[in-house]
Amino acid sequence: MIKKISVIAILLLSSFAFADNGVLQNSYKIYPKDADSLFMYAMNALSSDGRYNISEIQTKNGYILFTNASKYYLLKVTKRYQNQSEVKVLPRNSDFSLGYETAQNVFSLIDNEIKKPMELVK
- 13-22: per-residue pLDDT in tens? 443 443 444 5
Domains of the chain, CATH where assigned: 2-115 (3.30.310.80)
Q: What average pLDDT does the chain have? A: 78
Q: What is the pLDDT of residue 42?
A: 93
Q: Report residue 99's pLDDT band, with 50, 70 and 90 as the boundaries.
A: low
What average pLDDT score do residues 77-106 get?
83
CA torsion 30-43-88-80 (nearest 10°) is: 40
Q: What is the pLDDT of residue 120?
A: 58
Q: What are the pLDDT digits (tens) for 26-48?
A: 788 999 999 999 999 999 999 98
Closest CA to 37 of 120, 110, 122, 117: 110
Q: What is the pTM of this model?
A: 0.74
